[in-house]
Amino acid sequence: MKRVFRLFILVTSFTLFHVSPVSGYSRQDLANISGVKGHAQGYSLSCESRSAADLAAFWGISVSETEFLDALPRADNPEDGFVGNPNDAWGNIPPHSYGVHAGPVAETLQEYGLEAEAHHELRWDDLREEIDTGHPVIVWVIGQMWGGTPMEYEAQDGSSSIVAAFEHTMILTGYSSDTVQVVDAYTGQYQTYMLLTFIKSWSVLGNMAVFASLDTSSDDESTSSGSSVESYTVQIGDYLVELAHRFNTTWQELAQLNSVGFPYTIFPGQVLQLPGVEKQEGEVQPEPEPEVESRPSEPPADVKVVNFQVRLPMVQRNHTSMRASPKVTALVLTGSAETVTIRNTSTLASFSKSIGIDWRVLVELNGLRPPYLVHPGQVLKLR
Protein backbone atom coordinates (compact mmCIF):
# COMPACT_ATOMS: atom_id res chain seq x y z
CA MET A 1 0.00 0.00 0.00
CA LYS A 2 2.87 2.39 0.86
CA ARG A 3 4.47 1.79 -2.55
CA VAL A 4 1.17 2.59 -4.31
CA PHE A 5 0.78 5.77 -2.24
CA ARG A 6 4.35 6.89 -3.06
CA LEU A 7 3.72 6.24 -6.76
CA PHE A 8 0.59 8.37 -6.54
CA ILE A 9 2.60 11.24 -4.99
CA LEU A 10 5.29 10.95 -7.67
CA VAL A 11 2.76 11.03 -10.51
CA THR A 12 0.90 13.94 -8.89
CA SER A 13 4.13 15.90 -8.45
CA PHE A 14 5.14 15.28 -12.03
CA THR A 15 1.76 16.51 -13.23
CA LEU A 16 1.94 19.60 -11.03
CA PHE A 17 5.32 20.73 -12.31
CA HIS A 18 5.08 19.68 -15.94
CA VAL A 19 1.47 20.00 -16.98
CA SER A 20 -0.23 22.67 -14.90
CA PRO A 21 -0.25 25.85 -16.99
CA VAL A 22 0.15 29.46 -15.93
CA SER A 23 -2.86 31.44 -17.09
CA GLY A 24 -2.10 33.38 -20.27
CA TYR A 25 1.48 32.12 -20.42
CA SER A 26 2.92 30.31 -23.43
CA ARG A 27 5.73 28.02 -22.26
CA GLN A 28 9.06 27.53 -23.99
CA ASP A 29 11.29 24.46 -24.08
CA LEU A 30 14.56 26.34 -23.64
CA ALA A 31 15.60 29.66 -22.12
CA ASN A 32 18.82 31.12 -20.74
CA ILE A 33 19.82 34.46 -19.24
CA SER A 34 23.35 35.69 -19.86
CA GLY A 35 25.23 38.25 -17.82
CA VAL A 36 24.87 36.84 -14.30
CA LYS A 37 28.36 36.81 -12.82
CA GLY A 38 28.78 34.63 -9.75
CA HIS A 39 31.26 34.91 -6.91
CA ALA A 40 32.05 32.44 -4.14
CA GLN A 41 30.55 33.33 -0.79
CA GLY A 42 32.98 34.73 1.77
CA TYR A 43 31.40 33.30 4.93
CA SER A 44 30.13 29.86 5.88
CA LEU A 45 26.48 30.96 6.06
CA SER A 46 26.32 33.92 3.68
CA CYS A 47 24.92 32.22 0.60
CA GLU A 48 21.76 34.37 0.61
CA SER A 49 23.77 37.60 0.76
CA ARG A 50 26.10 36.36 -1.98
CA SER A 51 23.18 35.46 -4.25
CA ALA A 52 21.51 38.81 -3.50
CA ALA A 53 24.68 40.79 -4.26
CA ASP A 54 25.18 38.94 -7.56
CA LEU A 55 21.52 39.43 -8.51
CA ALA A 56 21.77 43.14 -7.70
CA ALA A 57 24.92 43.41 -9.83
CA PHE A 58 23.03 41.87 -12.76
CA TRP A 59 20.65 44.85 -12.55
CA GLY A 60 23.53 47.32 -12.26
CA ILE A 61 23.29 47.87 -8.50
CA SER A 62 26.57 47.68 -6.58
CA VAL A 63 26.42 46.13 -3.12
CA SER A 64 29.01 43.84 -1.59
CA GLU A 65 28.18 40.54 0.07
CA THR A 66 29.35 41.83 3.46
CA GLU A 67 27.40 45.07 3.13
CA PHE A 68 24.23 43.16 2.28
CA LEU A 69 24.81 40.72 5.14
CA ASP A 70 25.21 43.64 7.56
CA ALA A 71 22.01 45.24 6.22
CA LEU A 72 19.87 42.15 6.85
CA PRO A 73 17.81 42.30 10.06
CA ARG A 74 18.83 39.87 12.82
CA ALA A 75 16.25 37.55 14.36
CA ASP A 76 15.77 34.05 15.74
CA ASN A 77 13.23 33.23 13.00
CA PRO A 78 14.63 33.05 9.43
CA GLU A 79 11.34 34.44 8.13
CA ASP A 80 12.07 37.67 10.02
CA GLY A 81 15.85 38.05 9.69
CA PHE A 82 19.25 36.38 9.65
CA VAL A 83 19.56 33.65 12.27
CA GLY A 84 22.92 32.68 13.80
CA ASN A 85 26.53 33.64 13.15
CA PRO A 86 27.68 33.90 9.49
CA ASN A 87 30.92 32.14 10.50
CA ASP A 88 29.19 29.14 12.09
CA ALA A 89 29.37 25.65 10.63
CA TRP A 90 26.95 24.90 7.80
CA GLY A 91 24.39 22.12 8.05
CA ASN A 92 22.62 22.87 11.34
CA ILE A 93 19.13 24.15 12.04
CA PRO A 94 18.01 26.86 14.47
CA PRO A 95 18.69 27.76 17.16
CA HIS A 96 22.33 26.69 16.63
CA SER A 97 23.01 28.34 13.25
CA TYR A 98 21.17 28.82 10.03
CA GLY A 99 20.75 31.73 7.59
CA VAL A 100 17.73 33.63 6.28
CA HIS A 101 14.66 33.01 4.14
CA ALA A 102 13.20 34.91 1.20
CA GLY A 103 11.22 37.66 2.96
CA PRO A 104 14.08 39.60 4.60
CA VAL A 105 16.25 39.15 1.48
CA ALA A 106 13.57 40.69 -0.74
CA GLU A 107 12.97 43.56 1.68
CA THR A 108 16.69 44.34 1.85
CA LEU A 109 17.00 44.25 -1.94
CA GLN A 110 14.19 46.81 -2.04
CA GLU A 111 16.31 49.12 0.10
CA TYR A 112 18.94 49.07 -2.64
CA GLY A 113 16.43 50.02 -5.36
CA LEU A 114 15.31 46.66 -6.76
CA GLU A 115 11.65 45.76 -7.11
CA ALA A 116 11.98 42.48 -5.21
CA GLU A 117 9.28 40.10 -3.99
CA ALA A 118 9.46 37.01 -1.80
CA HIS A 119 7.38 34.01 -2.87
CA HIS A 120 6.44 30.66 -1.35
CA GLU A 121 4.63 27.62 -2.74
CA LEU A 122 5.50 28.51 -6.32
CA ARG A 123 5.08 26.21 -9.31
CA TRP A 124 7.83 25.33 -11.75
CA ASP A 125 5.97 27.26 -14.46
CA ASP A 126 6.19 30.40 -12.30
CA LEU A 127 9.98 30.16 -12.38
CA ARG A 128 9.98 29.48 -16.11
CA GLU A 129 7.90 32.57 -16.75
CA GLU A 130 10.40 34.75 -14.86
CA ILE A 131 13.34 33.29 -16.77
CA ASP A 132 11.51 33.78 -20.08
CA THR A 133 11.11 37.49 -19.29
CA GLY A 134 14.86 37.81 -18.58
CA HIS A 135 14.67 37.88 -14.78
CA PRO A 136 17.09 35.64 -12.84
CA VAL A 137 15.58 34.18 -9.67
CA ILE A 138 17.09 33.39 -6.26
CA VAL A 139 15.90 29.92 -5.21
CA TRP A 140 16.19 28.14 -1.84
CA VAL A 141 17.43 24.55 -2.14
CA ILE A 142 19.25 21.99 -0.01
CA GLY A 143 23.04 21.78 -0.42
CA GLN A 144 24.08 20.90 -3.93
CA MET A 145 20.52 20.00 -4.98
CA TRP A 146 20.28 17.32 -2.31
CA GLY A 147 17.10 16.01 -0.80
CA GLY A 148 16.21 17.05 2.71
CA THR A 149 13.76 16.85 5.58
CA PRO A 150 11.66 19.91 6.44
CA MET A 151 11.27 20.55 10.17
CA GLU A 152 9.09 22.98 12.07
CA TYR A 153 11.02 25.41 14.25
CA GLU A 154 9.48 27.62 16.95
CA ALA A 155 11.25 30.87 17.74
CA GLN A 156 11.41 32.45 21.18
CA ASP A 157 8.50 34.78 20.39
CA GLY A 158 6.28 31.81 19.54
CA SER A 159 6.40 32.27 15.76
CA SER A 160 7.23 29.22 13.69
CA SER A 161 8.84 28.45 10.36
CA ILE A 162 9.87 25.46 8.26
CA VAL A 163 13.64 24.91 8.26
CA ALA A 164 15.99 22.23 6.94
CA ALA A 165 19.63 21.29 7.37
CA PHE A 166 22.02 22.53 4.66
CA GLU A 167 19.64 25.29 3.54
CA HIS A 168 21.27 27.02 0.56
CA THR A 169 20.61 29.52 -2.24
CA MET A 170 21.42 29.60 -5.93
CA ILE A 171 20.42 31.90 -8.79
CA LEU A 172 18.30 30.20 -11.45
CA THR A 173 19.37 31.50 -14.87
CA GLY A 174 18.06 29.00 -17.42
CA TYR A 175 16.37 25.72 -18.21
CA SER A 176 15.79 23.12 -20.89
CA SER A 177 13.13 20.45 -21.13
CA ASP A 178 14.85 18.31 -18.48
CA THR A 179 17.59 20.45 -16.87
CA VAL A 180 18.09 23.72 -15.01
CA GLN A 181 21.08 26.07 -15.00
CA VAL A 182 22.02 27.89 -11.81
CA VAL A 183 24.80 30.03 -10.34
CA ASP A 184 25.86 28.46 -7.03
CA ALA A 185 26.60 30.91 -4.21
CA TYR A 186 29.02 28.45 -2.64
CA THR A 187 31.46 28.29 -5.56
CA GLY A 188 30.27 31.22 -7.70
CA GLN A 189 30.19 28.83 -10.66
CA TYR A 190 27.53 27.86 -13.17
CA GLN A 191 26.07 24.40 -12.62
CA THR A 192 23.53 22.27 -14.47
CA TYR A 193 21.20 19.80 -12.76
CA MET A 194 18.41 17.50 -13.83
CA LEU A 195 15.03 19.24 -13.54
CA LEU A 196 13.50 16.60 -11.27
CA THR A 197 16.54 16.78 -8.98
CA PHE A 198 16.07 20.54 -8.68
CA ILE A 199 12.32 20.28 -8.06
CA LYS A 200 12.83 17.77 -5.26
CA SER A 201 15.46 19.93 -3.52
CA TRP A 202 13.51 23.18 -4.09
CA SER A 203 10.35 21.69 -2.58
CA VAL A 204 11.93 20.95 0.84
CA LEU A 205 11.59 24.58 2.01
CA GLY A 206 8.24 25.12 0.32
CA ASN A 207 9.23 26.21 -3.21
CA MET A 208 10.67 29.52 -1.98
CA ALA A 209 12.19 32.18 -4.25
CA VAL A 210 12.89 35.90 -4.67
CA PHE A 211 11.81 37.60 -7.90
CA ALA A 212 13.48 40.92 -8.76
CA SER A 213 13.47 43.52 -11.51
CA LEU A 214 14.46 47.15 -11.99
CA ASP A 215 12.36 50.02 -13.27
CA THR A 216 14.56 51.62 -15.94
CA SER A 217 11.98 54.07 -17.29
CA SER A 218 13.64 56.98 -15.47
CA ASP A 219 17.13 56.05 -16.60
CA ASP A 220 16.85 57.12 -20.24
CA GLU A 221 18.19 60.64 -19.66
CA SER A 222 21.11 59.49 -17.56
CA THR A 223 21.95 56.78 -20.08
CA SER A 224 21.99 59.21 -23.00
CA SER A 225 24.40 61.46 -21.15
CA GLY A 226 26.54 58.63 -19.80
CA SER A 227 29.29 59.21 -22.33
CA SER A 228 30.03 62.62 -20.77
CA VAL A 229 30.71 61.20 -17.31
CA GLU A 230 34.29 62.10 -16.37
CA SER A 231 34.62 60.76 -12.85
CA TYR A 232 33.01 58.52 -10.27
CA THR A 233 32.82 58.84 -6.49
CA VAL A 234 33.51 55.54 -4.75
CA GLN A 235 30.62 54.17 -2.69
CA ILE A 236 30.64 51.67 0.18
CA GLY A 237 31.06 48.18 -1.25
CA ASP A 238 32.74 49.26 -4.51
CA TYR A 239 35.92 47.56 -5.68
CA LEU A 240 38.04 48.03 -8.79
CA VAL A 241 37.04 44.84 -10.59
CA GLU A 242 33.31 45.60 -10.34
CA LEU A 243 33.76 49.28 -11.31
CA ALA A 244 35.84 48.29 -14.32
CA HIS A 245 33.05 46.01 -15.52
CA ARG A 246 30.47 48.76 -15.00
CA PHE A 247 32.43 51.34 -16.99
CA ASN A 248 33.55 48.95 -19.78
CA THR A 249 37.25 48.96 -18.93
CA THR A 250 39.77 46.89 -16.95
CA TRP A 251 40.69 47.26 -13.30
CA GLN A 252 44.32 47.65 -14.35
CA GLU A 253 43.41 50.71 -16.44
CA LEU A 254 41.42 52.25 -13.60
CA ALA A 255 44.34 51.67 -11.24
CA GLN A 256 46.79 53.25 -13.70
CA LEU A 257 44.59 56.27 -14.46
CA ASN A 258 44.15 57.05 -10.78
CA SER A 259 47.60 56.06 -9.48
CA VAL A 260 46.07 53.32 -7.33
CA GLY A 261 49.02 51.13 -6.46
CA PHE A 262 49.33 47.77 -4.78
CA PRO A 263 47.27 46.49 -2.93
CA TYR A 264 44.69 48.29 -5.14
CA THR A 265 42.44 49.48 -2.31
CA ILE A 266 39.85 52.22 -2.94
CA PHE A 267 37.85 54.07 -0.29
CA PRO A 268 34.31 55.52 -0.03
CA GLY A 269 34.37 59.17 -1.10
CA GLN A 270 37.43 58.72 -3.32
CA VAL A 271 36.95 60.29 -6.78
CA LEU A 272 38.16 58.12 -9.67
CA GLN A 273 38.88 59.43 -13.15
CA LEU A 274 37.25 57.27 -15.83
CA PRO A 275 38.83 56.14 -19.14
CA GLY A 276 38.32 58.39 -22.13
CA VAL A 277 39.02 61.59 -20.22
CA GLU A 278 42.27 63.27 -21.22
CA LYS A 279 44.76 63.67 -18.37
CA GLN A 280 46.54 66.93 -17.68
CA GLU A 281 49.84 67.48 -19.44
CA GLY A 282 52.91 66.54 -17.49
CA GLU A 283 51.14 63.98 -15.32
CA VAL A 284 53.35 60.96 -14.78
CA GLN A 285 51.77 57.58 -15.49
CA PRO A 286 52.78 54.75 -13.15
CA GLU A 287 54.09 51.53 -14.55
CA PRO A 288 51.32 48.92 -14.76
CA GLU A 289 51.46 46.17 -12.16
CA PRO A 290 51.58 42.51 -13.25
CA GLU A 291 48.11 41.51 -14.39
CA VAL A 292 45.96 39.41 -12.08
CA GLU A 293 43.43 37.63 -14.23
CA SER A 294 39.79 38.25 -13.33
CA ARG A 295 37.78 35.11 -13.95
CA PRO A 296 34.04 35.64 -14.42
CA SER A 297 32.07 32.51 -13.77
CA GLU A 298 29.78 32.83 -16.79
CA PRO A 299 30.54 30.05 -19.30
CA PRO A 300 31.45 30.96 -22.90
CA ALA A 301 28.58 30.59 -25.36
CA ASP A 302 30.26 27.70 -27.19
CA VAL A 303 30.92 25.66 -24.05
CA LYS A 304 28.23 23.30 -22.78
CA VAL A 305 27.90 23.27 -19.00
CA VAL A 306 27.81 19.70 -17.70
CA ASN A 307 26.38 18.28 -14.51
CA PHE A 308 28.58 19.41 -11.63
CA GLN A 309 29.33 17.63 -8.39
CA VAL A 310 31.13 19.53 -5.65
CA ARG A 311 34.00 17.58 -4.12
CA LEU A 312 35.21 20.32 -1.79
CA PRO A 313 35.15 20.20 2.05
CA MET A 314 31.75 21.86 2.17
CA VAL A 315 31.10 21.56 5.92
CA GLN A 316 33.29 23.72 8.13
CA ARG A 317 33.89 21.63 11.23
CA ASN A 318 34.96 24.45 13.51
CA HIS A 319 32.85 24.06 16.64
CA THR A 320 34.48 26.93 18.48
CA SER A 321 33.13 29.34 15.84
CA MET A 322 29.56 28.51 16.92
CA ARG A 323 30.05 30.55 20.08
CA ALA A 324 31.60 33.71 18.66
CA SER A 325 33.13 35.19 15.56
CA PRO A 326 36.92 34.75 15.33
CA LYS A 327 38.89 37.78 16.43
CA VAL A 328 41.07 39.31 13.74
CA THR A 329 44.13 41.34 14.64
CA ALA A 330 44.87 44.10 12.14
CA LEU A 331 48.32 44.08 10.61
CA VAL A 332 50.39 47.00 9.40
CA LEU A 333 52.08 46.19 6.09
CA THR A 334 54.94 48.04 4.50
CA GLY A 335 54.70 48.92 0.83
CA SER A 336 57.46 46.41 0.06
CA ALA A 337 55.88 43.47 1.89
CA GLU A 338 55.61 40.39 -0.32
CA THR A 339 54.11 37.91 2.17
CA VAL A 340 52.04 37.97 5.35
CA THR A 341 51.69 35.35 8.10
CA ILE A 342 48.24 34.63 9.52
CA ARG A 343 47.89 35.17 13.27
CA ASN A 344 44.33 33.96 13.92
CA THR A 345 41.86 31.50 12.42
CA SER A 346 39.52 33.56 10.26
CA THR A 347 37.67 33.78 6.97
CA LEU A 348 39.63 35.26 4.10
CA ALA A 349 37.13 38.10 3.78
CA SER A 350 37.64 39.31 7.36
CA PHE A 351 41.42 38.85 7.20
CA SER A 352 41.71 40.76 3.93
CA LYS A 353 39.88 43.67 5.53
CA SER A 354 42.42 43.75 8.36
CA ILE A 355 45.31 44.25 5.92
CA GLY A 356 43.48 46.40 3.36
CA ILE A 357 43.75 44.06 0.37
CA ASP A 358 40.89 42.86 -1.81
CA TRP A 359 40.31 39.19 -0.91
CA ARG A 360 39.96 38.33 -4.62
CA VAL A 361 43.58 39.35 -5.16
CA LEU A 362 44.67 37.00 -2.35
CA VAL A 363 42.63 34.17 -3.90
CA GLU A 364 44.35 34.61 -7.28
CA LEU A 365 47.86 34.99 -5.90
CA ASN A 366 47.63 32.01 -3.54
CA GLY A 367 45.37 29.62 -5.45
CA LEU A 368 42.87 29.49 -2.58
CA ARG A 369 39.64 27.53 -2.77
CA PRO A 370 36.27 27.80 -1.00
CA PRO A 371 35.37 28.12 1.83
CA TYR A 372 38.45 30.39 2.05
CA LEU A 373 39.46 29.70 5.64
CA VAL A 374 42.93 30.84 6.72
CA HIS A 375 44.84 29.44 9.67
CA PRO A 376 47.49 30.62 12.16
CA GLY A 377 50.96 30.24 10.70
CA GLN A 378 49.74 30.16 7.10
CA VAL A 379 51.83 32.38 4.79
CA LEU A 380 50.04 34.26 2.01
CA LYS A 381 51.70 35.91 -0.98
CA LEU A 382 50.88 39.59 -1.55
CA ARG A 383 52.53 40.01 -4.94
At residue 176, the pLDDT reads: 93
**Do 243 and 185 share a structural domain?**
no
Task: Please give the Cα distance from 42 to 330 (Å, whole number).
Answer: 18
Residues 133 and 264 occupy one common structural domain: no
Query: Does residue 182 sit in the same domain as residue 64?
Result: yes
Q: What is the pTM of this model?
A: 0.56
> Which residues span the domain enclosing 237?
231-273
- 265 with 349, same domain: the answer is no
pLDDT at 16 over 80: no
Range of weakest confidence among 76-85, 277-286, 371-380: 277-286
- Asked whether residue 89 carries a pLDDT value surpassing 80, the answer given is yes
pLDDT at residue 273, as a whole number: 87
Judge whether 255 lies within some domain: yes
What's the CA dihedral at 368, 374, 378, 381 to 10 degrees? 40
Query: Would you state the pLDDT for residue 344?
Result: 63
Each residue of 139-148: pLDDT tens digit? 999 999 999 9
Give domain status of residue 181, yes or no.
Answer: yes
Which pLDDT belongs to residue 299? 44
Q: In this structure, is residue 306 part of a structural domain?
A: no
Is 193 domain-assigned?
A: yes
Tens of pLDDT along 252-270?
Answer: 888 888 887 765 677 767 8
CA dist., res. 24 & res. 47, Å (int): 34
CATH of residue 335: 3.10.350.10
**Per-residue pLDDT tens over the stretch 199-215:** 999 999 999 999 999 87
Question: Model confidence at 68, in pLDDT bands (50, 70, 90)?
Answer: very high
pLDDT value, residue 310 = 33
pLDDT of 346 strictly over 50: yes
Are 112 and 47 in a shared domain?
Answer: yes
Same domain membership, residue 54 and residue 119:
yes
Residues 149 and 264 in one domain: no
The verdict on 209 and 252 lying in the same domain is no
Which CA distances in Å does 137 have to 62, 93, 183, 233, 331? 18, 24, 10, 30, 40
Q: Is 264 left (phi over 0), alpha (psi -120 to 50) or beta?
A: left
- Are residues 81 and 109 located together in one domain of the fold? yes
Per residue in 275-322, pLDDT (tens digit) is 864 444 444 444 444 443 333 344 444 433 333 333 333 333 232 332
* Average of per-residue pLDDT values in the chain: 75
d(CA 243, CA 267): 13
Q: Are residues 73 and 132 in the same domain?
A: yes
Asked if 268 and 157 sit in the same domain, the reply is: no
Q: Once rounded to an integer, what is the mean pLDDT over residues 163-192?
A: 95
pLDDT in tens, 216-265: 554 444 444 444 457 888 776 667 777 888 888 888 888 888 887 765 67
What's the mean pLDDT in 6-33? 48
Look at residue 355 and tell me if it is in a domain.
yes
| pLDDT: which is higher, 338 or 63 | 63
261 and 376 share a domain? no
Whether residue 361 lies inside any domain: the answer is yes
Distances (CA, A) of 363 to 52, 219, 266: 22, 36, 18
